[in-house]
Amino acid sequence: DVGRRPDYLSGLNPEQREAVESIDGPVLVLAGAGTGKTRVLTTRIAHILASSKAFPSQILAVTFTNKAAREMKERVGVLVGGAVEGMPWMGTFHSIGVKLLRRHAELCGLRSAFTILDTDDVVRLIKQLIQADGIDDKRWPAKQFAQLIDGWKNKGLSPADIPEGDARAFANGKGRELYAAYQARLKTLNACDFGDLLLHPIKMFREHPDLLKEYHAKFRYILVDEYQDTNTAQYMWLRLLAQRPKGVPQNVCCVGDDDQSIYGWRGAEVDNILRFEKDFVGAKVIKLERNYRSTEHILGAAAHLIAHNEGRLGKTLFTDRSDPDDQKVQVHAAWDSEEEARAVGEEIEQLQRQTHRLNDMAILVRASFQMREFEDRFVTLGLNYRVIGGPRFYERMEIRDALAYFRLVCQDADDLAFERIVNTPKRGLGDTTIRALHDYARARDIPMLAAAAEMIDTDELKAKARKSLFDVVTNFRRWQGLLENTPHTELAETILEESGYTDMWKNDKSAEAPGRLENLKELIRSMEQFESMRGFLEHIALVMDTETNENLDAVSIMTLHSAKGLEFETVFLPGWEEGLFPHQRALDEGGRSGLEEERRLAYVGLTRAKRRCHIWFVSNRRIHGLWQSTLPSRFLDELPVTHVDISEPEQSYGGYNRGGYGQSRFDKQEPFSNTYSTPGWKRAQANKTDATRDNWGSRSGVSIERVGYGESGPRAKTIDGE
Ligand code: ATP
Ligand code: MG
């Protein structure tokens, strides 16, 4: 009876409607990208509220980001016609965990005002414990142990649960003991780390059945989005809350897509999907097969690609969003990342001229260092952009640190820069020394660097501090001396090396460290197009000044990982090259699982696009500071020819004749690898006869040669000329 169907239900397909209306009992919605899983969850909440099955405060809804929670809240409001009065239990697992803990801190040995430690705090704390125990913290770095603990916590393991073998993994069997000491120390400090936000609630519910019972009664409905990326601890906590006593319906609804599980590296367990049906007997499993987001070409390309993964649950996807005018997925080749960014910029401007909004466009990168080239290009073009899920390139910590070094070399009096880096990396120059320098400089009206130079000779500072300052001052004087006559990129590298800054990140065992090193290399690379270090710093000052306004029409730039759940009319996917995407780390692992996670990431990327999808690969990329002549990503081979076009670079941006792209072979439906005779390949061949070396060398200052193949198939290797 369509006439009496509430508004929010109209427009849903029968399967979606079933998922929305089956609110009593466990439901698992397992479905591909863009089939309306998130929409089902939102509508389900609206339905629960509209049919007065629960108050907003009785619904527990878990989203993957806090932003997603805010959006869901707004949409529910629209569906039920009016703002929803508070949905206090809508948020990420972590944010809900904090809330539970604040309420019941004493049950976990904490007080309600507990602090949440960030990674830096955690590492410092662990280091103290390691040293106090007489363990060599060079051999057993605190960072490494912090990650071990985090891994255990993601698996829901307290110190007592650590299996023997695991505990041995650190400090000759002292792992478990240290873990326990760490937890005890946190308690004394009235503090939690991130993992505790999951672990404490589990423990609390297990140890206090009465409390658990209260929450069983409280949370009448539980909903989880992006379920494929929950880790074991999250699953345990969810199961505790959702497995209610016999006779009470287990009103839990999880939606997910095994093909979009992309956080395995952070402990996510896609097997949680399989466990659901086991743990919630009689669960209704609903499949959604109609995709509402993308055109047939985009969907066809994505489906064909992901079919190369083994061990999938397998799903069908179809769309009737097809139109003879629909564009196929466009694959473009470029010479290097600069040209890639230029061409993407041109494409965007062209779309803009056809009155497409920048808000509807996104650039999704595999690694954050790739963003820099686009940001620079867009600043030059005056195109608005925003970086989602992280700071903009030049605002990253390691970039700001490096820039502070450069600024101080160029400009003696930059005290802010001085203060930023004088003790980064650590040189034993603590607050007392800085304050003394500050006072000295103020009293004499001289820059702090000059004050440091003078104070070396006084006895106002401790001997150790004087020695450190002496090194700092000598270094800066030397670098300043090099400023005029050394190529500025070379000087920049020298500064980062000699200051110990690069080493600081090389010795850093945290998960972000390799990315930060990549960013530093990218920073140096970005200086190449400037005449001097001063010219470069001026440019940076301008880039930093462009504001990011929420209401601005702007292109989004983000990593593939943070694009989960989002959609855009036009999506650009740059950097589809072996070693970047799939990422070298996944290839080095050798096994199937790393590569398959990369492929799922590619699937996530493609399926963000509604109407237009452009993939790029370049023939030369500077990775880890080395120019590499790269091969097109294997994922390109895995795209079906019926849904993909290679665009001729000569047409899209003229004056760049690089010879045939084997279009004819492509038409004969041969795999991509045979299709691309990439410029990189050509150049590398030509290089052997020195034919193009000059041309190439003049751009990059290095020569390049292809020297061989890796074990897992042909791979480019490069000798750097530097
Ligand atoms: P992902 O796996 O990427 O998270 P999803 O399954 O959560 O995707 P949604 O984001 O909920 O999919 O929906 C994709 C798009 O399709 C949205 O724009 C949504 O509004 C639209 N959509 C979903 N269901 C319908 C429907 N029945 N009618 C029209 N549009 C729909
Ligand atoms: Mg979704």
Per residue in 146-183, pLDDT (tens digit) is: 988 999 999 999 998 887 766 566 777 788 889 999 99
Query: Above 90 in pLDDT, residue 69?
Result: no
Q: What is the predicted pLDDT for the residue at 720?
A: 25
Rounded-to-integer distance, Cα 348 and Cα 570, Å: 9
Q: Which residue has the higher pLDDT, 18 or 95?
A: 18
Query: Is 226 a catalytic site residue?
Result: yes
pTM surpassing 0.80? no
Per-residue confidence at 115, pLDDT binned at 50, 70, 90?
A: confident
Q: Please identify which residue in the block is written with the tokens 């792209």.
A: 661
Q: Which residue has the higher pLDDT, 669 or 224?
A: 224
Atom of ligand 1 minimally distant from the CA of 35: 6
392 lines ligand 1 (CB under 6 A): no
Identify which of 17, 38, 262, 273 to mutate to test ligand 1's pocket (most ligand atoms within 8 A of the CB).
38
What spacing in Å lies between the alpha carbon of 552 and ligand 2's midpoint?
A: 25
Q: What is the predicted pLDDT for the residue at 694?
A: 27
Query: Above 70 in pLDDT, residue 700?
Result: no
Where do the H-state alpha helices sit in 171-208?
175-189, 196-207
What spacing in Å lies between the alpha carbon of 38 and ligand 2's midpoint?
A: 4
16 lines ligand 1 (CB under 6 A): yes
Query: Is 392 a catalytic site residue?
Result: no
Which of 196, 226, 269, 376 is flagged as catalytic? 226
Per residue in 667-698, pLDDT (tens digit) is: 333 333 333 333 333 333 333 332 222 222 22
34 lines ligand 1 (CB under 6 A): yes
Mean pLDDT of the chain: 83
Query: Above 80 in pLDDT, residue 644?
Result: yes
DSSP three-state, residue 112: coil
Query: Is 260 a catalytic site residue?
Result: yes
Atom 11 (ligand 1) nearest CA: 36
Q: What is the predicted pLDDT for the residue at 719?
A: 24
Which of 16, 63, 228, 260 is flagged as catalytic? 260
Residue 32 annotated in ligand binding: yes
Which of 33-37, 504-508, 611-615, 675-679 is least confident? 675-679
Q: Which residue has the higher pLDDT, 35 or 138?
A: 35
What spacing in Å lies between the alpha carbon of 256 and ligand 2's midpoint?
A: 8
Q: What is the predicted pLDDT for the residue at 697?
A: 26
Q: What is the predicted pLDDT for the residue at 374?
A: 95
| Closest to 604 in 3D by CA, of 21, 19, 27, 33 | 33
Query: Above 60 in pLDDT, residue 709?
Result: no
12 lines ligand 1 (CB under 6 A): yes
Q: With contact defined as beta carbons under 8 Å apart, do 315 and 31 qualify?
A: yes
Atom of ligand 1 minimally distant from the CA of 226: 4
Which of 101-105, 197-201, 456-460 is least confident? 456-460
Query: Is 412 a catalytic site residue?
Result: no
293 lines ligand 1 (CB under 6 A): yes
643 lines ligand 1 (CB under 6 A): no
DSSP three-state, residue 115: strand
Rounded-to-integer distance, Cα 265 and Cα 715, Å: 24
* Nearest ligand atom owner, CA of 36: 1
Where do the H-state alpha helices sit in 382-512?
397-410, 415-421, 431-444, 448-455, 463-482, 488-498, 501-506
- Rounded to 5 degrees, what angle do the CA atoms 559, 564, 567 make? 95
Q: What is the predicted pLDDT for the residue at 312?
A: 85
